C-alpha cells in the first residue's frame, strides 16, 4: 500500500449539513407541483451534479416532469433557508481539517457549483484549508462517474493511489473507488449496504474518528 499524500473531501453531508436542508426544500418543491416524494429521488441524486440530477429526475418522474423548473425552485427555497438560518457545519469538521492540514495535502471534490462552494465554505470558515477545489460545474459527468475525483487528483499532481476520499454517499464512494482511491465513508443520510462495503476502506461514525486512521 502506497503512502497516503492527500485527503480529498466531499462537501455536502460531509463538511456541511446541506443534505438536511435539501431534504426539506426538495419535499417542498415537489409538494408545490403536486408530486409525492415517495420514489427515493433525493437519495439517488445525492452526490451527483446538476446534469445527472436532471436525468435521474426524468427517469423517475417521466420525461414530461419539469426537472429544470423543479431544481430552480428547490434552489430558491434552499437559498432562502441559507440566508435566514445559515448552513450548519458537520460535527468535528473544523477539528479534522485542522488536524490533517499539517500532515497531508487537502482538496475538495464537490458536485456543487464553484460559486456556491466558495460562499458556503467561506461562511463556515473552512475554505482556507483546501489547496484546490474541483466542483460539479467543472466536469461533464458527476458522481458516481470517477471524472470529478480524477480531476481532483490531477489538480494536486498526484496519482489516485496516494489519495484518500472522504464521502458520505454511495455515489461518492463509487466515484472515488472507481478512480482508484481509498475511501473513508462517514454516512449521513444513507448507510452502506453489502454491495457498497467492498468499495470502502474505512467507515467512521463521524469526522473526528478519522484521526485514528490518518
Residues 174-196 pLDDT 10s:
999 999 999 999 998 888 999 99
How far apart are alpha carbons 158 and 168 in whole angstroms? 23
Catalytic one of 10, 145, 168, 188:
10
Residues 69-79 pLDDT 10s:
999 999 999 99
How far apart are alpha carbons 12 and 14 in whole angstroms? 5
Q: Structurally, how many domains does the chain consist of?
A: 2
pTM score of the predicted model: 0.87
Residues 141-179 pLDDT 10s:
889 999 999 999 999 999 999 999 999 999 999 999 999
Write down the pLDDT at residue 39.
67
Residues 47-93 pLDDT 10s:
787 888 899 999 988 999 999 999 999 999 999 999 999 999 999 99
Do 69 and 96 sit in the same domain of this protein? no
Active site residue 12: yes
Q: What contacts 151, CB < 8 A, 6 or more positions away? A: 109, 134, 138, 139
Handedness of CA 197, 199, 205, 210 (dihedral sign): positive
Write down the pLDDT at residue 205.
96
Q: Exposure of 112 by Cβ count < 10 A (0-12 exposed, 13-18 middle, 19+ buried)?
A: buried
Residue 1 has pLDDT above 70, yes or no: no
Do 203 and 112 sit in the same domain of this protein? yes
Do 117 and 79 sit in the same domain of this protein? no
Q: What contacts 27, CB < 8 A, 6 or more positions away? A: 37
In the three-class reduction of DSSP (H, G, I as helix; E, B as strand; rest coil), residue 196 is classed as coil
Handedness of CA 111, 149, 19, 133 (dihedral sign): negative
Do 121 and 188 sit in the same domain of this protein? yes
Active site residue 168: no
Residue 77 lies in a domain: yes
Write down the pLDDT at residue 108.
98
Do 106 and 32 sit in the same domain of this protein? no
Residue 94 has pLDDT above 90, yes or no: yes
Amino acid at each position: 500500500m502506497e503512502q497516503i499524500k492527500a485527503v480529498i473531501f466531499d462537501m455536502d453531508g460531509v463538511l456541511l449539513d446541506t443534505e438536511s436542508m435539501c431534504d426539506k426544500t426538495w419535499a417542498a418543491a415537489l409538494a408545490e407541483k403536486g408530486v409525492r416524494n415517495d420514489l427515493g429521488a433525493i437519495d439517488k441524486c445525492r452526490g451527483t451534479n446538476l446534469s445527472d440530477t436532471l436525468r435521474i429526475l426524468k427517469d423517475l418522474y417521466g420525461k414530461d416532469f419539469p426537472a429544470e423548473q423543479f431544481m430552480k425552485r428547490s434552489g430558491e427555497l434552499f437559498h432562502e433557508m441559507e440566508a435566514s438560518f445559515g448552513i450548519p457545519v458537520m460535527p468535528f469538521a473544523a477539528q479534522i481539517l485542522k488536524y490533517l492540514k499539517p500532515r497531508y495535502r487537502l482538496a475538495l471534490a464537490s458536485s456543487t457549483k464553484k460559486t456556491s462552494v466558495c460562499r458556503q465554505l467561506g461562511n463556515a470558515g473552512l475554505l482556507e484549508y483546501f489547496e484546490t477545489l474541483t466542483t460539479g460545474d467543472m466536469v461533464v459527468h458527476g458522481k458516481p462517474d470517477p471524472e470529478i475525483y480524477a480531476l481532483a487528483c490531477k489538480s494536486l499532481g498526484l496519482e489516485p493511489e496516494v489519495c484518500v476520499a472522504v464521502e458520505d454517499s454511495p455515489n461518492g464512494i463509487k466515484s472515488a473507488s472507481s478512480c482508484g482511491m481509498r475511501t473513508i465513508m462517514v454516512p449521513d443520510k444513507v448507510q452502506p449496504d453489502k454491495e457498497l462495503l467492498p468499495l470502502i476502506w474505512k467507515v467512521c461514525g463521524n469526522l473526528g474518528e478519522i484521526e485514528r486512521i490518518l
